[in-house]
Homo-oligomer: A and B are copies of this chain.
Amino acid sequence: MSEIRSELGWSTPERITVRGKDLPGEILGTLNLGDMAFFELTGKFPNPKESRLFNAMAVTLVEHGVTPSALAARLTFLGAPEAMQAAVAAGLCGLGSVFVGSMQDCARLLSSGKSAQELMAENKRIPGLGHPLHKPVDPRTVRLFEIARETGYYGKYCRMMEEISTAKKLTLNATGAIGALACELGLDWRAVRGIGVMARAVGLVGHLLEESRQPMAEAVWHQIEEQASRHLRK
């Protein structure tokens, strides 16, 4: 069994240290929130190019409008407005295999060391491809790869995903682009779902603030309840 040991943070009366850096002296005012996420995931401060690209990746995932996750958070807030943290938690619980998992699956596949040809031969379905609305191109992928080129991080993983997308005639969607870019940045594929989770936490807080000012959850509930039981009320 493993030792009980963490490198992440500790404090004395005078000092607060995060991964070996002095929080007030070295981190506050120096790192933005995305940089801090990068630091949490990699243990090092991003350089300006890494900062620009990683922040763009995370920002892409913050807000997707009225998603199932945003609805779950709003419906939860309706019953427990005193526990906003639990409403965000409810919204996060659905970021599983269907919506956010594909990003991580994509990064895992790409980090296997295989070629695009090998990946296509071995996998019936490549994660990160296809989009119900954005076809033939996902405008987020275009922009993210543009930023990757500007910062020097457009590399072999991006090319592989573009090759597969072309061969399969499927949109390279934003989750596929982010999966590839995570590999370019050398991030652990196990952390990739986490980028989506933290970004959506930001977006869910936005939804709950809107819900507290301009609520929709109660109307959603009554509308759906009426539809769902209409056949029983006859």
Please report A residues at the B interface, Cβ cutoff 8 Å: 1-19, 23-25, 27-29, 31-37, 40-41, 51-52, 55-56, 58-60, 62-73, 75-100, 133-135, 139-140, 142-144, 146-147, 150, 188, 190-191, 193-195, 197-199, 201-203, 205-210, 212, 214-225, 227-233
- Oligomer: number of copies: 4
Identify 11 new A-B residue pairs, CB closer than 8 A, beyond the known A78-B94, A93-B93: A10-B233, A23-B63, A28-B147, A33-B58, A76-B94, A79-B98, A81-B96, A83-B96, A88-B198, A220-B220, A224-B224
Q: Looking at the complex, which one of B31, B56, B146 makes contact with A59 (CB distance below 8 Å)?
A: B31
Q: Looking at the complex, which one of B66, B207, B230 makes contact with A229 (CB distance below 8 Å)?
A: B66
Known: A4-B223, A194-B208. A27 touches B85 (CB 8 A): no
Q: A89: nearest residue on chain B (CB-CB)?
A: B89
| Residues in B neighbouring A212, C-beta threshold 8 A | 190
Q: Say whether A28 contacts B56, CB under 8 Å.
A: yes
Q: Looking at the complex, which one of B150, B201, B208 makes contact with A201 (CB distance below 8 Å)?
A: B201
| Residues in B neighbouring A199, C-beta threshold 8 A | 33
| Residues in B neighbouring A56, C-beta threshold 8 A | 28-29
| Residues in B neighbouring A25, C-beta threshold 8 A | 139, 143
The distance in angstroms between the C-alpha atoms of A27 and B33, with both chains bound, is 16
Known: A18-B63, A40-B62, A88-B197. A209 touches B228 (CB 8 A): no
| Residues in B neighbouring A71, C-beta threshold 8 A | 71-72, 75, 220-221, 224
Q: Say whether A92 contacts B94, CB under 8 Å.
A: no
CB distance from A158 to the nearest CB of B (A): 16
CB distance from A61 to the nearest CB of B (A): 10
Q: Say whether A66 contacts B8, CB under 8 Å.
A: yes
Q: A97: nearest residue on chain B (CB-CB)?
A: B82
| Residues in B neighbouring A83, C-beta threshold 8 A | 80, 82-83, 85-86, 93, 96
CB distance from A101 to the nearest CB of B (A): 8
Q: Looking at the complex, which one of B32, B52, B134 makes contact with A55 (CB distance below 8 Å)?
A: B32
* Central interface residue in A64, A205, A223, by most chain B CB within 10 Å: A205
Q: Say whether B96 contacts A40, CB under 8 Å.
A: no
Q: Say whether B216 contacts A2, CB under 8 Å.
A: yes
The distance in angstroms between the C-alpha atoms of A100 and B15, with both chains bound, is 21
